[in-house]
Structure 1
Amino acid sequence: MIWVNNQWQPTPRPTETEIFPMIRRVDSTCSNAFIVRASSCVLVVDPGADEEQASAIEALVEEIMAQGPRPVLVVLTHCHRDHSLAVRDWPARHPSWLLAAQESGAKAMRGGDHRVTMAYMFNEDYPPVDVHVELLSAIDAATVGERALAPCPGGELVLRTDIAGFAGGPPAPRQSLVAGEKTVAELFHAPGHSPDSLVINVGGALLVGDLFCAAAPMVAGIVGWDGDQLKRSLAMVERLLGDGSVHVCCGGHGQPMTSSQALDVLGQVRAETEKLSGAAILDERRVAFLKRYAVAVLHELDQLFTIMAGRLFTLSYFLEQLEEEELAAGILQSLDIDAIDNLITSFHRAERDSQGDILELRTPMRGLVTLKRINNILRQARIDDYIDPLIRRRLRSLLLDYIDATRGLPFQTTMLERDLNQFAQEFVEEMARVCQQSEAVLASADDDKAFSTALARQIAANNALPPVRLNFVPHPSRVLTRIDHDRCSDLLVDFIERFHSAGAHTVDMDVAILDGGQPCLTLRPSPPLGLASAGKQKKAFWELSARIAHCQLIFEPEAVGIAPLA
């Protein structure tokens, strides 16, 4: 164990300084906190946003002060709500304590900026807070030297700014907190996660705020995030970790690490950051979109896995009737449907129970965790021979599209110019095709295992697609448009499955040109069904799928049109 949580212990480098880490379970609403005790001062780093944690910090500091007065400095690695909200009442309760933040964060807190402080993620305002000390300001960097802070009971605090040199990289401004002629901490500006992010070296313990989670989904792209600055900050921290001055590293969320472990994590963060060029800003509108997206995708996955489970059980039943008991049992074990069902059910239950949750990102984050766990189950599944490729492709797109969306990345589409008539005709042929594998079955007759496997594939292939007759009427002329073949095909299959489940025997398809010159592929089920019964979540998913495929959906009373936008 690197540190014992919630206990005083010496800092890694031999000094008179002790540290009291408050390491929490990873929690988006409140950060870890650190209290540093020196003979000449008390340093509180990132008090967080939890009232119980804040009260515990206050009690610890009061215990120290009872042993003899000394200056108290509260330092924020950055001004985000989960790191800073606890201080909102401290100026009134502890007027002698000084609050310090990097220059841009100090201005945001004084102005009650709910965007820069990330309070908007919680549907909250941010109360203006008087920040006494601006750290590593532009003036500090330009006029290296020292300045004394406001007088404090029991001693004086001095900020000493110089330029630190690094082997193999550019120098950087460094600000040292000096109390009683002893350096208690060294601070470096490390923007990227936020404009005001700092890393703080306290006796060989490097406190990095949220630098190491800055490239994570639903963190990358937040207001103030900057990928280029993040890469430069990561390079600087890599040099700090490599020069021998750091022994322990800890972020605002998660467990402490050795310097070698931190270097490994840093490499992963750098690699992820390189993939995030052009990531979308995670503002209020995008958070609302991700919340709707998570719910729609999990509802769709629930339906898709129900279809897959039905097909696997049907295949297993037929094999049992053919006295292929071993293979039948293997089919049921090819995919852990129960585990997936439990994950999806847990998501929906948590979603119902969390109505009114202050954290707007809770649903998208829960959706991301659920999808990643489902993806891990699918990696171990053995379903390629038993589930048709159309369903597997749709499943893969659902998972990867949502994960990309949470990282702020654009949806991966392949837009090609096609004749809409030709696309529709190929789709009809693909849906009508029954993958006959009789030759494979006969060819493997001498090998019991190969015969059984080929037979299972044959049964699965004949049971793969819904028995709906497709009638296609092309437009008399070529209708050129740009279209993503796979995504539009998946959208068509989804509609046809909906029609089939509602009782349709036939779907008529035709290509037309709308009044504005936009091409459109229309589907009309027979008997006429309408789409009113599809439900809110299903309609939301259709609209989302069309958006990803760069299409517009045109709903009519008894038909639906898919009109490519490109």
Structure 2
Amino acid sequence: MEVFPYIRTVDMVSSNSYVLSARDQICLIDPGGDDGQMDRLVEVIGELWEERARPVLIYLTHVHVDHSFELSRGDLLEGLGGAAVAVQEAGAVSLERGDPAMTLSCLLGREVAPRSPEVRLLSSADLAAPGRRLIELGRGAAFEYETASFGIGDGVVLHRQRVELGGGDALEVYHTPGHSPDSVCLRAGELLFLGDLLFASNPGVAGIPGWSRADQIGSIRRALWLLEGGEVLQCCPGHGRPMEAGAAKKTLCRLLQYTLSLGDPLLIDGGWAREAAEYSAVALRELERLFTIIAGRLILVSSVLEDLGEGEAAREIEALVDSGAVDDLFSRWHDRLSSCRGGGLLEIEVVHEAGRIVGKLEGLFDGGGVADLFEDHLLRRAGRLLNDYMVTYRGFRPPQCLRAEDLTSILRGSIEGFIRRPRPGDQILEAETEEEWLRALKARISYVPLPERVSVAFAGSGGLPPAVVDGERLTDLVIDILERLAAGMAEEVAIGAFQEGEGVLVRIAGRGRGIRDPFRRDELRYLERSISLCGGDLVAASGGDAPAISIRFSGDGEGA
């Protein structure tokens, strides 16, 4: 049996495809979703058919449109006697209905016409009465197979169909649901075709319609069992390059542990993709602002140290964050976002691109390495935003610690955190070692005296009821708002907390000559989400020369 792989750069348009040429059958595994790719596959199949005419069967690892969309151009094979489609029974039902959810056409922006497959692999009827079957496909072609099921341990059952291809070759089909109910793996001799099994637990994938954590865990164990036999030497995924069986086994073992650790993600559908794409734009804009602050201050510290003759210390500062790599990531993001706005990218592609960028930013950001140079609340905000985005990207809700707390104490603590000034000058004089002196010097250079530009006053009614809030998130949010007002040239900021029904209303307002509005639309979108994660609701925001923001928190007794 000859194998003709079509391996493409990983994207969401199309899967890899594989053509198998056996004595009695030509097999096409996953026609994919790209016209040019399908044209090339038809050329290969046509040449093989001209050498020896035999039935052509299209096997789907599952019906997602990146694997199956080119079925709509199956007429290209009519001159070769046509092609029958073989797909697991659940996928056959989805194709017959043109199901936009189960084919992911709604998520990937491609309309699927209903189609009735000729062969239902691993059907309930076959599993109920296993054995040999023969399906007449017309034009003298037939599909002969044998069904069997057996336990492989830990209560996991492997369902298999063996299709004879002639000349001693066979194609074995295994039901491996999880990524989708109809997912299968196929084995041809030393090759195991995995479909999307390796990616089914990935962020932005786990949670798609039909995804099942329990099924995915079972299917990973099925694939590992197949590899344990030693007959498979190479694994061919639906996306990406083939890998040796040993490497695939290690990947599957890691995947199993990760999948076991997963909870139940949110449903990844068109609505989720829209919201996640919007959040991607908001989160990446704020991350760019934070990383610009961090990188800018590191450059300042490095430059001053260099001027002071502390070249080695300056180079150590430069190495803390790769500013060039950070700039490249955000430049790439802006290019991709522009492409999306121009109609060149799907929303789900934007989400995945943002996920890749945030993942790389996490790798570049070492909060511990810069802890002596920045305010702890700034580093917490950056670290938390990176984490919140990745949690959202994985299909879960960011963690909250909501409980009844005294808002007056939290707000006063936030003000103290904002106006607190470090003691780098004193520490420079008190340093007993060169290391201590350098640490204090770097902190002094990095310090930005924003709090010294503005006076902050707190006023509130007494006896406020406890409010349901995430105290740490709210503390950092209030400091963030104060910094934005100070950077916008506010001279005075008033923070008030007042009882409103059973809840508490917090108002933060700035005043000053030439004050700039820190609550523009883009900033408000980020702040509104941050407020929600604190447990509050943004009820009002005003800009102009009197910027103010009002947040309502539920009382401990509300909603009980």
| Structure 1 length-normalised TM | 0.91
Counterpart selection for 2:262 from 268, 276, 280: 276
**Cα contact 2:175–2:183 (8 A) shared by 1:** yes
1:197-219 Cα distance to aligned partner (Å, 9 max, x none) = 00111112111100110011111
1:122-176 Cα distance to aligned partner (Å, 9 max, x none) = 2332111231111101111001022212245575320211124536664422111
Summarize the Cα distance change of 1:28–1:88 in structure 2 as closer, same or farther, 3 Å threshold: same
**Cα contact 1:499–1:529 (8 A) shared by 2:** no
State whether structure 2 residue 515 is matched by structure 1 residue 521. no
- 35-44 or 477-486: bigger deviation: 477-486
Q: Distance in 2 between matches of 1:156 and 1:321?
A: 82
**Cα contact 1:434–1:462 (8 A) shared by 2:** no
In structure 1, the residue matched to 2:36 is 52
Summarize the Cα distance change of 1:262–1:313 in structure 2 as closer, same or farther, 3 Å threshold: closer
In structure 1, the residue matched to 2:548 is 559
**Cα contact 1:71–1:152 (8 A) shared by 2:** no
Structure 2 counterpart of 1:521, one-letter code? V
In structure 2, the residue matched to 1:67 is 51
In structure 2, the residue matched to 1:366 is 353
In structure 1, the residue matched to 2:558 is none
Q: Distance in 2 between matches of 1:156 and 1:326?
A: 76
Gaps of 5+ in 1: 1-16
State whether structure 2 residue 237 is matched by structure 1 residue 251. yes
What's the CA shift for 1:65?
1.0
What's the CA shift for 1:181?
7.8
Summarize the Cα distance change of 1:98–1:356 in structure 2 as closer, same or farther, 3 Å threshold: same
- 305-314 or 263-272: bigger deviation: 305-314
Summarize the Cα distance change of 1:131–1:531 in structure 2 as closer, same or farther, 3 Å threshold: farther
Structure 2 counterpart of 1:412, one-letter code? P
State whether structure 2 residue 279 is matched by structure 1 residue 293. yes
Q: Distance in 2 between matches of 1:62 and 1:433?
A: 76
- 497-506 or 322-331: bigger deviation: 322-331
What's the CA shift for 1:19?
1.1
1:465-495 Cα distance to aligned partner (Å, 9 max, x none) = 5743211113210430121122212222222
Structure 2 counterpart of 1:523, one-letter code? I
Q: Distance in 1 between matches of 2:515 and 2:450?
A: 25
Q: Distance in 1 between matches of 2:516 and 2:435?
A: 46
**Cα contact 2:96–2:116 (8 A) shared by 1:** yes
**Cα contact 1:198–1:208 (8 A) shared by 2:** yes
**Cα contact 1:47–1:83 (8 A) shared by 2:** yes
1:373-395 Cα distance to aligned partner (Å, 9 max, x none) = 22222149842221221111111
SS in structure 1 opposite 2:494? strand
Q: Distance in 2 between matches of 1:467 and 1:495?
A: 15
What's the CA shift for 1:224?
0.7
SS in structure 2 opposite 1:554? strand
Structure 1 counterpart of 2:67, one-letter code? H
SS in structure 1 opposite 2:371? coil
Q: Distance in 1 between matches of 2:346 and 2:71?
A: 20
In structure 2, the residue matched to 1:96 is 82
Q: Distance in 2 between matches of 1:150 and 1:466?
A: 85
In structure 1, the residue matched to 2:396 is 409
What's the CA shift for 1:360?
2.4
SS in structure 1 opposite 2:370? coil
**Cα contact 1:69–1:154 (8 A) shared by 2:** no
What's the CA shift for 1:444?
2.6
Summarize the Cα distance change of 1:113–1:466 in structure 2 as closer, same or farther, 3 Å threshold: farther
What's the CA shift for 1:358?
5.3
What's the CA shift for 1:539?
1.8
What's the CA shift for 1:368?
1.0
Q: Distance in 1 between matches of 2:517 and 2:451?
A: 24
Q: Distance in 2 between matches of 1:506 and 1:321?
A: 36
Summarize the Cα distance change of 1:323–1:421 in structure 2 as closer, same or farther, 3 Å threshold: same
1:529-562 Cα distance to aligned partner (Å, 9 max, x none) = 8986643322211122122222211224342112
- % identical aligned pairs: 28
State whether structure 2 residue 66 is matched by structure 1 residue 82. yes
Counterpart selection for 2:2 from 15, 18, 41: 18
Gaps of 5+ in 2: 556-560
Structure 2 counterpart of 1:417, one-letter code? A
Summarize the Cα distance change of 1:462–1:501 in structure 2 as closer, same or farther, 3 Å threshold: closer
In structure 2, the residue matched to 1:471 is 457
What's the CA shift for 1:397?
1.0
**Cα contact 1:324–1:452 (8 A) shared by 2:** no
SS in structure 1 opposite 2:132? strand
Structure 2 counterpart of 1:193, one-letter code? H
In structure 2, the residue matched to 1:376 is 363
In the TM superposition, what are the counterparts of 1:57-456 in structure 2 within 5 Å? 57-91=41-75, 93-94=77-78, 96-151=82-137, 156-166=142-152, 170-180=156-166, 182-316=168-302, 318-319=304-305, 324=310, 326-354=312-340, 355-357=342-344, 359-379=346-366, 382-437=369-424, 440-445=427-432, 447-456=433-442
**Cα contact 1:553–1:561 (8 A) shared by 2:** yes
Q: Distance in 2 between matches of 1:141 and 1:246?
A: 25
Summarize the Cα distance change of 1:177–1:450 in structure 2 as closer, same or farther, 3 Å threshold: same
**Cα contact 2:177–2:183 (8 A) shared by 1:** yes
SS in structure 2 opposite 1:150? strand
Summarize the Cα distance change of 1:157–1:556 in structure 2 as closer, same or farther, 3 Å threshold: closer
Summarize the Cα distance change of 1:509–1:33 in structure 2 as closer, same or farther, 3 Å threshold: same
Q: Distance in 2 between matches of 1:74 and 1:404?
A: 38
In the TM superposition, what are the counterparts of 1:1-40 in structure 2 within 5 Å? 17-40=1-24
**Cα contact 2:301–2:442 (8 A) shared by 1:** yes
**Cα contact 2:6–2:17 (8 A) shared by 1:** yes
Structure 2 counterpart of 1:282, one-letter code? I
1:315-351 Cα distance to aligned partner (Å, 9 max, x none) = 4455466554553454344322232122112211221
Structure 2 counterpart of 1:544, one-letter code? R
Q: Distance in 2 between matches of 1:411 and 1:565?
A: 20
Q: Distance in 2 between matches of 1:419 and 1:450?
A: 39
SS in structure 2 opposite 1:361? helix
Summarize the Cα distance change of 1:139–1:525 in structure 2 as closer, same or farther, 3 Å threshold: same
Structure 1 counterpart of 2:128, one-letter code? A
**Cα contact 2:302–2:314 (8 A) shared by 1:** yes
| Structure 2 length-normalised TM | 0.92
In structure 2, the residue matched to 1:550 is 535
What's the CA shift for 1:273?
1.3
Q: Distance in 2 between matches of 1:124 and 1:27?
A: 15
Summarize the Cα distance change of 1:443–1:497 in structure 2 as closer, same or farther, 3 Å threshold: closer
**Cα contact 2:419–2:452 (8 A) shared by 1:** no
Summarize the Cα distance change of 1:476–1:379 in structure 2 as closer, same or farther, 3 Å threshold: closer
**Cα contact 2:417–2:479 (8 A) shared by 1:** no
Summarize the Cα distance change of 1:472–1:189 in structure 2 as closer, same or farther, 3 Å threshold: same
**Cα contact 2:320–2:366 (8 A) shared by 1:** no
| RMSD, matched Cα | 2.4
SS in structure 2 opposite 1:339? helix
State whether structure 2 residue 468 is matched by structure 1 residue 482. yes
Q: Distance in 2 between matches of 1:232 and 1:402?
A: 29
Summarize the Cα distance change of 1:209–1:529 in structure 2 as closer, same or farther, 3 Å threshold: farther
- 86-95 or 232-241: bigger deviation: 86-95
Summarize the Cα distance change of 1:227–1:153 in structure 2 as closer, same or farther, 3 Å threshold: same
- 124-133 or 68-77: bigger deviation: 124-133
- 83-92 or 50-59: bigger deviation: 83-92
SS in structure 1 opposite 2:195? coil
- 371-380 or 124-133: bigger deviation: 371-380
